[in-house]
Amino acid sequence: MTAIPAPAPPAADSAPPDEDGLHIPEGLERVRIYVWQVPVRLTHWVTFTAIVILTVTGAYIADPFFFTFDAETMSTMRALHMLAAFVFLASGVLRTYWLFAGNQFSRWTAFIPTNRRHLHEVRTQTAFYLFRSRDIPGILGHNALAGGTYTVVFILFAIQTVTGFGMLAIHGTEPWAALFGWVPALFGEQGMRLIHHLLMWVILAFSIHHVYSAILVDHWERNGLMSSIFAGSKFVPRWRIDEARDGGIAFEHIVSREDIETSLVEAVEAGQPLTQEDVAVLDEATEAVERDAG
């Protein structure tokens, strides 16, 4: 397969210092930007782990496999399924709270397309996935297609949770019978089970595409997308920050002086040229370290 070269960045003059005196070095290709906060990364991996456990145990409850069927094994699987369900629910509650308390990349406004630019991003990103275009939206956080998709997935998670607790209501277990007794009454017992089962496959299909698209975009943009869900930071070219819909907003909140200094040190080690402003920042950082050591 022939590799398609990534689009070249547009030519740009050296950026002047911003209001806080931070300077994006001319010789640097990328700077580190803190995108995914701890609650976002925590809920991502907790949800992932819960989904794996829920899928395996749920599939066994529906149709026992691998192990010899007996009451003790089934009881253990049901207990694990319930434990994972409560963890899944707690993770969802925390992530929902963070839709209103998080930074600009994790708030609800980053998920719901609301204007023509968002719709253009949806078309552009879709064309990229379908190999109809080489263009890709220059977004630091979620592009509009991803944000809209995650919104739908959140709704599916909610339906999956409600139908799951609705199954407990069938057996008259309190307080679930009182809280979710309306679910089997609305869909019927078999209809509720079918919805719960089918959504499991839909969520698994989404998960496969999610991993594929993350690897693809990480390879294309080379910005550390895959590692960012572990460490929280992406390494983004300055011109991407300038052009991104969610870049250039409260810039001092997403690129700290420490990040600039770290990037400068990496630039020196890589033999990249530095401007006089870059050298001044490095000298200031060195003096600060010496003062702290003294």
Task: Give pLDDT tens digits for 6-46.
Answer: 444 444 444 444 444 455 455 456 778 889 999 999 999 99
Residue 291 has pLDDT above 80, yes or no: no
- Residue 182 pLDDT: 93
Taking alpha carbons only, the member of 128, 130, 131 closest to residue 139 is: 128
Counting residues of the chain whose pLDDT is more than 70, the rounded percentage is: 71
Tokens representing 20 are 């806080």
How many other CB atoms sit within 10 Å of the CB of residue 176? Answer: 18
Residue with tokens 């968002």: 118
- Residue 164 pLDDT: 93
Alpha helices (runs of H) in 11-143, residue ranges in sequence order? 38-62, 71-101, 116-129
Residue predicted with more confidence, 64 or 272: 64
Alpha helices (runs of H) in 171-247, residue ranges in sequence order? 176-180, 182-187, 189-221, 225-231, 238-243
pLDDT classification of 285: cutoffs 50, 70, 90: low
End-to-end Cα, the chain, rounded Å? 57
Backbone angles phi, psi at 235, to 5 degrees: -115, 105
Tokens representing 259 are 């990040």
Q: Provide the mean pLDDT of the chain.
A: 80
- Residue 263 pLDDT: 64
pLDDT classification of 275: cutoffs 50, 70, 90: low
Cα–Cα dist 217/200, whole Å: 26
Tokens representing 52 are 């794996």
Side-chain half-sphere CA neighbours of 104 within 13 A: 17
Residue predicted with more confidence, 129 or 292: 129
- Mean pLDDT is lowest, of 76-80, 108-112, 208-212, 255-259, for 255-259
- Residue 195 pLDDT: 95
